[in-house]
Structure 1
Amino acid sequence: MLEQLLIFTRGGLILWTCNELGNALRGSPIDTLIRSCLLEERSGAASYNYDAPGAAYTLKWTFHNELGLVFVAVYQKILHLLYVDDLLAMVKREFSEIYDPTRTVYDDFDDIFRQLKKEAEARAEEMKKSKQISKPVNNLAKKQGQVQKSSTGGIARKGDSESGSDGADDENLKVKKIENGYTNGNHVGVDKLPPVVNGKKDESPNNGAFNVNKLQKLRQKGSKKIDTVPKKSSIIEPNKKVTKKNRVWDDSPKEKKLDFTDPMTENGNESITVVEVDQGESSMMDKEETFSSDSESEEEEEPGKENKAGTKKTGWFSSMFQSIAGKASLDKADLEPALKALKDRLMTKNVAEEIAEKLCESVAISLEGKKLGSFTRISSTVQVAMEEALVRILTPKRSIDILREVHAAKEHRKPYVVVFVGVNGVGKSTNLAKVAYWLLQHDIKVMMAACDTFRSGAVEQLRTHARRLQIPIFEKGYEKDPAIVAKEAIQEATHNGSDVVLVDTAGRMQDNEPLMRALSKLINLNSPDLVLFVGEALVGNDAVDQLSKFNQKLADLSASPNPRLIDGILLTKFDTIDDKVGAALSMVYVSGAPVMFVGCGQSYTDMKKLNVKSIVKTLLK
């Protein structure tokens, strides 16, 4: 059952909602959809699943880009409503006809919606019944198609013995069709079956592909009778490959017309491999000629006529004007070339292929149906739309001001805890020291917690950084429970008056179950204020796998209904990638967490904040 259907503007003004359903939604699925999907350029997805305590919904939506309207349908996740997509399309069509930007109330749309809902449900029910009926019919056809050997050694259709007596009295059943031909109601052998050519029975005495005797008789009557020979592909042997005669180009061609479908060859012999080419159909040679140079294609095809592919061929000025002039509305076919070029460009900048494809789908949906301004190129329109989408994705959805939050925690007399997580070898300990140095520059007391009790040399490495920065470090050695070590470090920081505790953890691959379980325990036990994922700027497609599995493991292994996931990203080795900054986009798109810092060198001062506009410009240049 449909729970809710809403129509609202892109600005957030609700224009209409179906009052007759009377179902109050639990939680806030619409707000979550807007915040987690539409604003983050995930509108190319087919649906969105909302899971909350006591509520599990599936949301589907569609846009009217020209009017700036959003149509959202909400129903229970356990249900599979077949009519929702059809209903949304009909509601979009009908509501767009009565929409007025000056109106805010549409009570008259209730009756229209009831009728549309009935039509969509009836159509879905008919489709469901047709599918159920088609299955038994297909099974029956398979059973009827089976043949069995009769007692006389022939082949008969299964069931003929049961219906044979009744069928003898009916003239319609005197001729029964079987797999290899027709019978007259009696059992016949396979070798006695007449040949079938293109689904029709060949009654000629010769079992070949065509009647040679008939052709010889026609030849004896005269050359005029030859024209009555059918020029059909049915006279071709099924197993014989069709060959084409090579053309001979010379100054004095022997033939006045280039008609190679004549059944007679030059020497008077009959041509067995006769092929009739339907008008408008392209042969293999025509398809190959399509890939010729532009100059050849312009000479061969006249403007305004249909080319080999069946599309209208326009002149140079017409095609140029069409690419820049305004159209009634943009459709997907218009956007595909520009989006494909944009996708390739993003992938060359190290953006994961999956992310680039989803971004292009989202941009296509946001532009489809919009009117293009006069003398505006489609490519520039797509470029602007993609630039806006990238800015929305990379801009943090919530402000994470570490300095402000540190001072707020200090007022409550508790330390601000930051946990650094990530895979092996990305530079967690080094960038932890960079963050510590940055905090020291703002007169904040920092303490390190050596919770990497797994890797040999991890404690000594962190101890070296602490000595250089002249800050305290809490350590318990190796082979200890990192969750307990972090808890004791937080208690120690509370006693000695430290403002921030930076927790170093062991590097772990996203598929390492024991280490991921230990990390989940550390986060759940200590409830840190910030969980930073440290990742390399060098990774491409692997960034999607790393972040998605880290978040998935933290969610699965958490006992809390609201599990703690990754809050921010720290990208390392940013100075080694030149303009291939796509990993930043991939990580933000997958996790929804902002890139807070980027490491760009070996010293403590080589850490900066991400410039969103600079990254977007680099991705699209």
Structure 2
Amino acid sequence: MLEQLLIFTRGGLILWTCKELSNALRGSPIDTLIRSCLLEERSGLASYTYDAPGASYTLKWTFHNELGLVFVAVYQKILHLLYVDELLSLVKREFSEIYDPSRMDYGDFDDVYRQLMKEAEARAEEIKKSSKLGAKGVVSKKEELGRKGKFDQSSKKGGNLRSDDGEDGKGDKKLENGYVNGGGNVVEISKNQDSVNDKENLSSNNGAFDVNKLQKLRSKAGKKNNTVGFGSDKGGKVETKKKVTKKNRVWDEKAPEVKLDYTNPVTENGDEDVNYGVAVNEGESMMDKEEVISSDSEDEENEQVGNGSKVGSKSKGWFSSMFHSIAGNANLDRADLEPALKGLKDRLMSKNVAEEIAEKLCESVATSLEGKKLASFTRVSSTVQAAMEDALVRILTPKRSIDILRDVHAAKEQGKPYVVVFVGVNGVGKSTNLAKVAYWLQQHNVSVMMAACDTFRSGAVEQLRTHARRLKIPIFEKGYEKDPAIVAKEAIQEATRNHSDVVLVDTAGRMQDNEPLMRALSKLIYLNNPDLVLFVGEALVGNDAVDQLSKFNQKLADLSNSPNPRLIDGILLTKFDTIDDKVGAALSMVYISGAPVMFVGCGQSYTDLKKLNVKSIVKTLLK
């Protein structure tokens, strides 16, 4: 039985709800559907599952894009209602006929809904009965075929299964030089076939081949090789490779001296000069610089020729080659959108977007455009491009404001440090980018302390200690083979005593399938309750980004002892300067996790940390 059926506008105005379904929904499934599915371009999904303490619902929906209406049905997750899709389709058809934008009360639709409900349930029963009858017919047909396919075991002679009508016992027709088996494969039998105990060896009939044909092919290949090629005896031109002589290396006796020792200089007391690294990396962090994006339109990239006609360059992208359009005021259907969507999917995948994400995005765009009227002299490709651009901007724009500097000052007023935990797989650059974040916070007069909680990897503590010395930042460490959760807890206590504003917790790199390390990470987050959990990922990954983030979140949820486990709050994308225009990993990570990209690492120095420019990413993806 349905729990609720609602009709509301895309603006969120509820027009009608079923009064007979008076069951109060637990939690907020409708709000969650709008926030987590419809606004994040997941409307192409077949259904959405809402799980909350004491509530588990399945939600299905459909759109009327021309009128801007949303129809949502809610029912218990354990139920499998066959009539929901049919009911939504009928309700959509009937309500769209009486819809008036100036009208607010649709109480007379209750009687129409009752009739539609009866029709949908009746059709569902018919489908259920027909499916049962069809299943029985299939089983009986299989039994009949099984009986016909049996053969007489006593007809086995010499390894051949023959019947009286010239066919073998398996229904294989005999040819002049072989057999055709039941699967339609020709099984050739050589005349000089080996025999064992006067019986033909047919154990390898499946997939066998004609040896004579193979010998003919070999002889043809030999003739071709003898006509032209190396060692030809028939006057063919012999090809010889020219010997490439290597140029002599010229050694410069007065080569410039290059300093290769980048360690800190040692003072007279035997200590390292900690100011050396700061002097090298001194400067303003790119986080505080606004990135300027070129606003050149595609039309400006064209060349003006002749009588004013324009010749498009290749930089216009794949949309320039699609001139498929529909007559003015015609409704779009799926067939009209398919060509543009296919090209759009290929374009996204070429930019390193995961295939699964590209498919879902295109499906969501198709769902949002299907049924809309196309304006006169408007190409379908332009409409699809505009819809996808809006969708990408909505996905990449953070759903909630995460201002670290503001949150740091708020935590300082409460007398506690702001705790950030850096997590991720092996070798993505957690420690290096942790130092970049520390450098950026220092520029805003925020006191920082590092916590060396990577007690697993050899050299991890020494690496973080080097960054701390260069940046003149205190570090809390307990060495190796310690419980990282306890080390982090003691570090937070030490920061509270020393009145440090921020604690940056470095953790060991771990693969998403390593359960012991994932359990230790879940314990660290549960015990210390950090203010921010940052997932550090590479911009180089494609499909693997989806697997990493989804499994990290899943493991943190499954292995946590809390009923409301902490998941990943934000993403730090590293090695962004190495990918050129392959920026799709950012989109894949945000789409699969719902967490925003808060930092982008784009170089080797402490200043090479910047914000993600959404407009720039969208422009690059659709270029």
Bin the TM-score by the shorter chain.
Answer: 0.7 to 0.9
Q: What residue in structure 2 maps to residue 611 of structure 1?
A: 613
**For structure 1, which runs of at least 5 residues remain unmatched after alignment?**
154-188, 193-238, 242-319
- Give the 3 Å change call, closer, same or farther, for CA 87–434 of structure 1 in structure 2: same
Larger RCO, structure (CA 8 Å, separation 6 or more): 2
On the 8 A contact 1:325/1:377 being kept in 2, the answer is no
CA distance in 1, matches of 2:149, 2:539: 68
On the 8 A contact 2:324/2:380 being kept in 1, the answer is no
Residue deviations 1:118-165, cap 9 Å, x none?
A: 111111111111222233333344445635999xx9xxxxxxxxxxxx
Q: Is residue 42 of structure 2 the alignment partner of residue 42 of structure 1?
A: yes
CA distance in 1, matches of 2:36, 2:387: 19
Q: What residue in structure 2 maps to residue 29 of structure 1?
A: 29
Q: What residue in structure 2 maps to residue 438 of structure 1?
A: 440
Aligned residue identity for 1:532: L
Q: How does 1:468-487 map to 2 (within 5 A)?
A: 468-487=470-489
Which secondary structure state, in structure 1, belongs to the residue aligned with residue 573 of structure 2? strand
On the 8 A contact 2:599/2:610 being kept in 1, the answer is yes
- Give the 3 Å change call, closer, same or farther, for CA 148–499 of structure 1 in structure 2: closer
Q: What residue in structure 2 maps to residue 419 of structure 1?
A: 421
Q: What residue in structure 2 maps to residue 84 of structure 1?
A: 84
Aligned residue identity for 1:88: L
Q: What residue in structure 2 maps to residue 458 of structure 1?
A: 460
Q: How does 1:229-244 map to 2 (within 5 A)?
A: none
CA distance in 2, matches of 1:121, 1:33: 25
Residue deviations 1:533-563, cap 9 Å, x none?
A: 0001111111101101100100111122211
On the 8 A contact 2:324/2:381 being kept in 1, the answer is no
User: Shift of residue 327 of structure 1?
Assistant: 4.5
Q: How does 1:402-413 map to 2 (within 5 A)?
A: 402-413=404-415
Q: How does 1:289-328 map to 2 (within 5 A)?
A: 323=325, 325-328=327-330
Which secondary structure state, in structure 2, belongs to the residue aligned with residue 5 of structure 1? strand
Q: What residue in structure 2 maps to residue 139 of structure 1?
A: 139
CA distance in 2, matches of 1:33, 1:345: 29
CA distance in 2, matches of 1:52, 1:618: 38
Identity, in percent, stands at 86
CA distance in 2, matches of 1:149, 1:615: 64
User: Shift of residue 191 of structure 1?
Assistant: 5.2
Q: What residue in structure 2 maps to residue 94 of structure 1?
A: 94
Q: What residue in structure 2 maps to residue 177 of structure 1?
A: none
Q: What residue in structure 1 maps to residue 395 of structure 2?
A: 393
On the 8 A contact 1:548/1:590 being kept in 2, the answer is yes
**For structure 2, which runs of at least 5 residues remain unmatched after alignment?**
155-162, 167-183, 187-321
Q: What residue in structure 1 maps to residue 543 of structure 2?
A: 541
Q: How does 1:196-275 map to 2 (within 5 A)?
A: none
- Give the 3 Å change call, closer, same or farther, for CA 148–406 of structure 1 in structure 2: closer
Q: What residue in structure 2 maps to residue 72 of structure 1?
A: 72
Using the size of structure 2 for normalisation, the TM-score is: 0.72
Q: What residue in structure 2 maps to residue 58 of structure 1?
A: 58
Q: What residue in structure 1 maps to residue 256 of structure 2?
A: none
Q: What residue in structure 1 maps to residue 355 of structure 2?
A: 353
Aligned residue identity for 1:619: L
Which secondary structure state, in structure 2, belongs to the residue aligned with residue 596 of structure 1? strand
Q: 2:507 aligns with which of 505, 515, 521?
A: 505
CA distance in 1, matches of 2:584, 2:86: 37
User: Shift of residue 61 of structure 1?
Assistant: 0.5
On the 8 A contact 1:450/1:459 being kept in 2, the answer is yes
Q: What residue in structure 2 maps to residue 284 of structure 1?
A: none
User: Shift of residue 104 of structure 1?
Assistant: 1.3
Residue deviations 1:552-590, cap 9 Å, x none?
A: 100111122211000000001111111111110000000
Aligned residue identity for 2:39: L
Q: What residue in structure 1 maps to residue 120 of structure 2?
A: 120
- Give the 3 Å change call, closer, same or farther, for CA 17–480 of structure 1 in structure 2: same
On the 8 A contact 1:4/1:73 being kept in 2, the answer is yes
Aligned residue-pair number: 463
- Give the 3 Å change call, closer, same or farther, for CA 602–139 of structure 1 in structure 2: closer
User: Shift of residue 380 of structure 1?
Assistant: 0.5
Residue deviations 1:445-483, cap 9 Å, x none?
A: 100000000000000000011111111100000000000
Residue deviations 1:13-66, cap 9 Å, x none?
A: 000011101110000000000000110000111110000000000000110000
On the 8 A contact 2:324/2:379 being kept in 1, the answer is no
Which secondary structure state, in structure 1, belongs to the residue aligned with residue 93 of structure 2? helix
Using the size of structure 1 for normalisation, the TM-score is: 0.72
Which secondary structure state, in structure 2, belongs to the residue aligned with residue 323 of structure 1? coil
Q: What residue in structure 2 maps to residue 597 of structure 1?
A: 599
Instruction: Give RMSD over aligned pairs.
Output: 2.3
CA distance in 2, matches of 1:328, 1:114: 33
Q: 2:492 aligns with which of 490, 493, 511?
A: 490
CA distance in 2, matches of 1:535, 1:577: 13
- Give the 3 Å change call, closer, same or farther, for CA 511–112 of structure 1 in structure 2: same
Which secondary structure state, in structure 1, belongs to the residue aligned with residue 572 of structure 2? strand
CA distance in 2, matches of 1:191, 1:575: 74
User: Shift of residue 4 of structure 1?
Assistant: 0.6
Q: Is residue 113 of structure 2 the alignment partner of residue 109 of structure 1?
A: no
Aligned residue identity for 1:381: T
Q: What residue in structure 2 maps to residue 316 of structure 1?
A: none
CA distance in 2, matches of 1:148, 1:551: 53
Q: What residue in structure 2 maps to residue 130 of structure 1?
A: 130
Q: What residue in structure 1 maps to residue 431 of structure 2?
A: 429
CA distance in 2, matches of 1:471, 1:144: 81
On the 8 A contact 2:354/2:542 being kept in 1, the answer is yes
Structure of higher CA gyration radius = 1
CA distance in 1, matches of 2:507, 2:432: 12
Q: 1:378 aligns with which of 372, 377, 380?
A: 380
User: Shift of residue 88 of structure 1?
Assistant: 0.5
Q: Is residue 572 of structure 2 the alignment partner of residue 565 of structure 1?
A: no
